[in-house]
Structure 1
Amino acid sequence: MSSVSMSDGPQVWSPRTGRWQSAAPEAVGTAAPLAAIDSWLLEDGRVRGLERHRARFAAAVAGASPDARHVPGAADVERFLKAAFALLPTEGRSFPRIELTADGDLRLWLRPAPAVEDEVVVYATPFPDRRRRPQRKGPDLARQHQWRSAVEAFDAGEGLLAAPAGTITEGIWSTPLWWDGDVLCALPRRAPVLDSVTRSLVLDVARELDVEVGRAEPSVGRLRDSETWMLSALHGIRLVTGWLLVPGSAPEPALRVPGRAAEWQARLQALAAPVVDDGGGGAQR
């Protein structure tokens, strides 16, 4: 297959033939079991941290047993990634997703990019974090969609997940950063959560600016008492502008320093770089 369009649906890559074919109709969509996924915002051929997405997906595939009946080897994954990156469009906006199915198939799905938001209202009552694989995207996708549907029914744009002790682990689709005075705070390095590419890029910006970074497991109250950002590959930084305490009521206004989130979002967006084949199946910037 020489080209793939965003109307084609997921494309399956065969390591045996090195060719692409359309996924079976019943495999299309979020109902299909997925052992690992990764996605990023692509704008006119430029991506933030694509090499980190590549490395995270490769690690997720390597650790995908027993969620996948067959786990492709590292060489097959690299060949797949090289083939997938070669098909990424160089114009327009898209939100590509790479997948490892429960059957062990490697797939690329070129999807139109949803609108990017820079602000969000967060539902302040966290859901118990019952994800089976919190450190790998894919196996808990159906549960995340259920949580999102519940949050959207309350007119909020994001929700929080909590550990049994009540501390916040992540958002449904994003990871939190929050400010304690002039200190930018993040989850502990060894927290059992997804290795967020966007968080790593923002913390790189913090180091470049000599901004102190703290580590903690926050409570909902701590986040409500701070300027809080929710980070994701699609939106980058979303400033929390309100906390929804009671469904149907007006959100509680959130704390913020005027202009700070927008400045950091601009710095984050400046990190986007062209997709360049490095000859080894990855990409560089």
Structure 2
Amino acid sequence: MIAPRFFVWTGRELAETPDVPAHDGVLVADSWLVADGGVRALQLHRDRFLRGVASQTSIDSPATESFWQAAVDALPRTGEWFPRVEALLIGGEPTLALRLRPAPPLGASVRVASLDEGDPRTVSTVKGPDIERLGALKSEAAQNDVDEPIIVSAAGHIIDGATSAVLWWRGDRLFAPSASLGRVDSVTAKSIRLLATATGTDTGEEFATPADLAGCEVWVVNALHGIRVVTSWRNGPALARTHGRATAWQRRLDALVRPIS
């Protein structure tokens, strides 16, 4: 098995370190799938990462842009990878870093459960500050045969998955949680909704509890797996599935893959 590699940005270049340095938390993070040098919507990941760094750190935009380009240049052009760019707090200073990780196995289906504790996030619209906490909750859920915990609001409305966005179908209309709930701007969900608009598919946003999704087809989507169909919701609604729909939309999503330049 190929071991992950870790690089710290010195301000001029990426310096590989044998171990991840001790740090006081992840401030911003972004990740995406690289398959034989191809990536979906890399520009959207770049824009989201730069916005996050600007909002959460004192690092200026030119420095972040230089780091980003160096990180992209360092990505392998063969094999399957799941790199992550980060802003970490090391010794009290925000530091940019790259984790070069082999991609884990991909899946097309997922089992979910609502988080009993409600919304555990501290920064709801930026990927990074809560990534370690959400990862721990996902690991705990896996012990109960749950692949993806679902974050719900105090009122019980679906917001997000721990590492994914949630979408659902009512008939032929595609829905997402209301943006007013405060959620990470998912690149994959945005790409799917843009594809829906381009193909004449109606879309919308709504406040919905898990019970409100009874009889719907529900997707959990992210940059690693693309689209995964929810096959079970522990202590939740009975869901439906339209044969072939997720596969067809995954093909549309994969058509967005472009070579790294």
**TM over 0.5: same fold?**
yes
What corresponds to 1:73 in structure 2? 60
What corresponds to 2:251 in structure 1? 266
2: distance between equivalents of 1:126 and 1:207?
Answer: 35
Describe the shift of the 1:245–1:22 C-alpha distance in structure 2 as closer, same or farther (beyond 3 A). Answer: same
2: distance between equivalents of 1:34 and 1:242?
Answer: 32
1: distance between equivalents of 2:104 and 2:238?
Answer: 26
2: distance between equivalents of 1:122 and 1:34?
Answer: 25
1:175-234 CA deviation, whole Å, 9 max, x = no partner? 111011111001224441100000110011101110000110210112333100001110
Counterpart pick for 2:145 among 146, 155, 168: 155
What corresponds to 2:21 in structure 1? 27
Describe the shift of the 1:52–1:244 C-alpha distance in structure 2 as closer, same or farther (beyond 3 A). Answer: same
Describe the shift of the 1:13–1:125 C-alpha distance in structure 2 as closer, same or farther (beyond 3 A). Answer: closer
Find the residue that maps to 2:228 and give its secondary structure.
Answer: strand
Kept in 1: contact 2:6–2:19 (CA 8 A) = no
Pairing 1:38-187 to 2, within 5 Å after superposition: 38-65=30-57, 71-102=58-89, 103-124=93-114, 126-187=116-177
Shift of 1:270: 1.2
The letter of the residue matching 1:197 is V
What corresponds to 1:228 in structure 2? 218
Describe the shift of the 1:9–1:32 C-alpha distance in structure 2 as closer, same or farther (beyond 3 A). Answer: farther
Kept in 1: contact 2:4–2:102 (CA 8 A) = no
What corresponds to 1:10 in structure 2? 6
1: distance between equivalents of 2:200 and 2:164?
Answer: 25
1:137-191 CA deviation, whole Å, 9 max, x = no partner? 1111221022112210111111111111111111111111101111100122444
The letter of the residue matching 2:84 is R
Percent identity of paired positions between Structure 1 and Structure 2: 34
- Runs (5+) with no aligned partner, structure 1: 1-5, 66-70, 247-251, 277-285
Q: TM-score, normalised by structure 2?
A: 0.93
2: distance between equivalents of 1:170 and 1:224?
Answer: 18
Shift of 1:37: 0.5
1: distance between equivalents of 2:18 and 2:260?
Answer: 29
Bigger strand share:
2
Kept in 1: contact 2:169–2:175 (CA 8 A) = yes
Shift of 1:125: 5.3
1:240-270 CA deviation, whole Å, 9 max, x = no partner? 1112229xxxxx7631001101110111011
The letter of the residue matching 2:47 is A
1: distance between equivalents of 2:252 and 2:20?
Answer: 41
Count of aligned positions: 257
Describe the shift of the 1:49–1:127 C-alpha distance in structure 2 as closer, same or farther (beyond 3 A). Answer: farther
Describe the shift of the 1:45–1:32 C-alpha distance in structure 2 as closer, same or farther (beyond 3 A). Answer: farther
Q: TM-score, normalised by structure 1?
A: 0.85
Kept in 2: contact 1:182–1:212 (CA 8 A) = yes
- Runs (5+) with no aligned partner, structure 2: none
